[in-house]
Structure 1
């Protein structure tokens, strides 16, 4: 078995030695067959793959540049949003402080209004008693009018004549007349 492995190794070494000699042919040969062989050589394949790799590197570079620009724009927008949030938070704090001040003012006002309401209610009470007195006199005057209207109706005068004598409207006369019919 070791002899077989040694023979396979020698065959591979000889085959590769011959392939290397064929690649070392000078570049000045202009024969088409040699050019085809040269195009299929390892060096040419390696050069082509390097060129393709360079194209991919350029495309990757452009892609990285675009991604970096997008990330930069996003970071700037995030910073702007943070600034706006801070401004809004400050405004909310100011608004809350303003509400607290207004509540304190309202409490103070309600404290003073209690005293004012007591004074005003006493004044209103006095005014109400004065109004009652005046309304009582009006009732007395109205009752006298109604009695006169009743008397004149009983005497047989018409509504127009009663209106002229008492200097009141015809509607009042009709109202009193209808009320006392019932």
Structure 2
């Protein structure tokens, strides 16, 4: 009886070890580990790939529609009814192209406005920083000319000694 229980126990342990090994090599295990290890830039790359894929799919659909329309036009050139269909199809193609053109222009204008706004914000920030820096440089220069030590200047302006030394060495010589 004891031997039977030990044999069953060993068999269960062996089966569990085999199951664990299979699980570590499974797709779900690999997917879970990859999702946990992904960094922000990898997620952004995935989103961009998805967006590009969707755009390409839309373009392929439009190309197929245009090909079908052109085939209808070519097949219907010889018939009077076909000429009417041809005009309808050509109008459809023209309207479709105009809509896409307008959407692209609007999108490009929005992107340009965003970029211009960012550039303006950056310019204003740079001007403010430059103005603040020039004020510091003037103050440090005046204090050094008046005979104050680097420690006194750094305490009075609430800036580090290294910054005072840097200003002294780079700008005031």
Q: Same fold (TM over 0.5)?
A: no
TM-score (norm 1): 0.37
